[in-house]
Amino acid sequence: MIYIHIPFCRQKCSYCNFHFSTSLNFKDEMLAAMKKEIFLRKDELQNKNLQSLYFGGGTPSILSPDEIKSLIDEVLKYFSFENDIEITLEANPDDLDKTFLKGLADSPINRLSIGTQSFFEADLKLMNRVHTANEAEDSIKRSQDFGFENLSIDLIYGSPTSNLEIWKENLNKTIALEVPHISSYALTVEPKTALENWISKGKVISPKEEEQNREFYYLSDFLKNNGFEHYEVSNFAKPGFYSRHNSSYWKYKEYLGIGPSAHSYNGFDKRSWNVANNQQYIKKLQSGILAKEEEILSQKDQFNEMMMIGLRTIWGVDLNSLNEKFNGEIMEYFHKEIKSKLEEGILIIEDNHLKIPEKHWFMADGIAADLFMV
């Protein structure tokens, strides 16, 4: 699978610390550099027949449909697509007008991930989103009108501008719109963001963990009662609508990341990442040099990643794979560390897979971190 990072946004969301630029001055040079990187790295994936292609960002919908098609055409020069390939485009509601969607409907894109975040103006203003509450709803309906049935939306809970009743209304609206996939995250205060600055100056109240906990478990129960499967801590899908691309990450499959700040993984022991600087990225690729660094993951690194990723999913961590992959010292440590958590019920073993019971999923990252080798 291939991930393409589009490092442009119209404006910066108050909570975001991802890599992007609000200037489009070097967009053409960036697209040319990405195509050059695809060519230079065409032999890094063992499997040339792609199951998924994902445009993330940033805001990929800031590109025109023709620019998106040109990147897909570049990928097709060196890779083939499975007949049922999933090709996802992350999009902002304000970009999804009729002209854009008409062009997109004529492209190979067959899945949209829409950055809705909320259907309430107060939430959207706090987050510094470009779109309005009306655009949030209308963009979903328009996308469906143009034949995009495989839709995902992002929703953020635990905002200081929200509460449980507002959160319930957000979820009722989502169900009414018949969206088959939802990615939902607690509002987090990341370093060096506008949100962190506002909170430090007392302009905004800090999100409350107990409120986020309540809203998370309401979210899980509500969506399951409405036919969704809670298959990863932050992801819910109707049957047949799991994100194939993201599921591959969570199952440790190889992937290639194109664009500034994008990461890649060989499926075994090597991870690489591109420089998180647009100008440096462009300059290096113009000279035919890859703008990346890489590392060989130690056994401890691989073990820790399997804990962090696997324990966030319904699949858990395959104990057979764990025994095959790691030496006696690591496995001795592992069995010692999980003993008390199994006794407490924080961890369980089902069908030879180690899992966190769903009632403890809100604390999944902390539980997994307790198992890390240092």
Treating both helix axes as pointing N-terminal to C-terminal, what angle do 209-225 and 164-176 enclose, rounded to 10 degrees?
30
Q: How far apart are CA 31 and CA 161, in angstroms?
A: 38
Angstrom distances, CA of residue 325 to CA of 57, 227, 247, 298, 338: 33, 36, 21, 12, 18
> What residues have CB less than 8 Å from 371, skipping those under 6 apart?
304, 307, 334, 337, 338
Using CA atoms, how far apart are residues 32 and 227, in angstroms rounded to an integer?
43
The H or E element containing residue 169 is helix 164-176
Phi-psi group of 202: left, alpha or beta (phi > 0 → left; psi -120 to 50 → alpha; rest → beta): left
List the chain pLDDT tens, one digit each, 374 residues: 999 999 998 888 888 877 777 778 899 999 999 999 999 999 999 999 999 999 999 899 999 999 999 999 999 999 999 999 999 999 999 999 999 999 999 999 999 999 999 999 999 999 999 999 999 999 999 999 999 999 999 999 999 999 999 999 999 999 999 999 999 999 998 998 999 999 999 998 999 999 999 999 999 999 999 999 999 999 999 999 999 999 999 988 999 999 999 999 998 899 999 999 999 999 999 999 999 999 999 999 999 999 999 999 999 999 999 999 998 899 999 999 999 999 999 999 999 999 999 999 999 999 999 999 98
Amino acid type, 146: F
Buried b (16+ CB within 10 A) or exposed e, 298-333: eeeebbbbbbbbbbbbbbbbbeeebeebbeeebeee
pLDDT of residue 93: 96
With CA atoms as reference, report the closest residue to 14 among 139, 156, 197, 230: 197
Residue type for position 273: W
d(CA 33, CA 27): 10
Rounded Cα distance, 365 and 359, in Å: 14
Query: What's the CA gap between 204 and 201, in Å, rounded?
Result: 8
pLDDT attached to residue 10: 83
**Rounded distance between C-alpha atoms, residue 95 and residue 62, angstroms:** 7
User: What is the structure's pLDDT at 225?
Assistant: 97
Q: Is the previous residue joined to 310 through a cis bond, with omega within 30 degrees of 0?
A: no
Q: What value, to the nearest 5°, has the Cα angle with vertex 3 and ends 75 and 152?
A: 115
CA 374 to CA 372: how far, in whole Å?
6
258, 3 in Cβ contact below 8 A? yes
Q: How far is CA 355 from CA 28, 176, 208, 310, 365, in A?
A: 46, 32, 27, 8, 12
* Euclidean distance between CA atoms 62 and 116, whole angstroms: 15
What is the token pair recorded at 257?
């990341």
* Residues shown for the chain: 374
